[in-house]
Amino acid sequence: MDCQECKKRPAAVHLTKIINNKKSEMHLCEQCAKEKGDVSANFSFHDLLSGLLNYDNNKTNVFEQKQCQQCGMTFQQFYKVGKLGCADCYQYFGEQLDHILRKVQGKLGHTGKIPKRIAGDISVKRQISQLRQQLQNSIYEERFEEAAAFRDQIKALEKQLEQ
């Protein structure tokens, strides 16, 4: 099969995009794919993004003004490239990203591996939030002795975090 762009070289890059359940395919040689640059390489995710945001013009302006204070990437740039500029972008675009992440990933909240050197603190925090949940349940069910025990455990863990 020949490249759709130049119709000379054999197609080596095959892209599939699905918009509104309609599937279309693109077949490009390596050179043409390269020339199309980031846009073609990312275009399926990019299209997905635009579908997911699906906002009106007013909202666009609000989003576009957001900028990562660490790397300087704007939301508009992110939207164009489909990729974030640095780890801090996750904070600066937090609200919008949560919205997209929920759709891309289904649910939020990492429950997997934690780097060993920082695992201690995080697992304590995970424990605290579990205990808080249990504390609320026991108050709700009027089991106050149990609630007091949970409260003490939380306090102890919080102290441990402060050290």
Partner 1 sequence: MEKYIDKGLSDWMQQDGPESDVVLSSRVRLARNIKGLPFAPLMTDKATKQLIDQARNAMNQQYLQELGSFELLKLKDISPLDRKILVEKHLISPKLDSEYMQTAVVLKDDEAANVMLNEEDHMRIQCIFPGFQLRTSYDLANQIDDSLEATIDYAFDEKLGYLTSCLTNVGTGLRASVMVHIPALVITGQVKRLLSAIQRVGLAVRGYYGEGSEAVGNLFQISNQITLGYSEDEILENLEDVIKQVIEHERDARKHVLAHMKINIEDKIYRSLGILLYARAISGQEAMERISDVRLGIDLGMLKGISANILKELMVITGPGYLQKLANRELSSDEWDSKRAKIIRERLANIQIDK
CB of residue 157 to partner 1, shortest distance in Å: 15
Sign of the CA dihedral running 158, 159, 162, 163: negative
Per the structure block, which two tokens stand in for 19? 């918009």
CA-nearest of 102, 89, 81 to 38 is: 81
Instruction: Encode 35-46: b = buried (16+ Cβ within 10 Å), e = exposed.
Output: ebeeebbbebeb
Counting every residue, how long is the chain? 163
Q: Is 7 in the site for partner 1 (CB under 8 A)?
A: no
- Interface residue with partner 1, options 113, 145, 162, 163 (CB under 8 A): 113
Residue 96: CB atoms within 10 Å: 18
Give the C-alpha separation, 82 to 126, whole Å.
31
- Interface residue with Zn ion, options 50, 65, 70, 133 (CB under 5 A): 70
Q: Is 111 in the site for partner 1 (CB under 8 A)?
A: yes
- Interface residue with partner 1, options 6, 39, 62, 86 (CB under 8 A): 86
How many of the chain's residues bind Zn ion (CB under 5 A)?
A: 14
- Interface residue with partner 1, options 3, 97, 131, 154 (CB under 8 A): 97
Q: Is 33 in the site for Zn ion (CB under 5 A)?
A: no
List residues binding Zn ion (CB under 5 A).
Answer: 3, 5-6, 9, 29, 32, 68, 70-71, 73, 85-86, 88-89
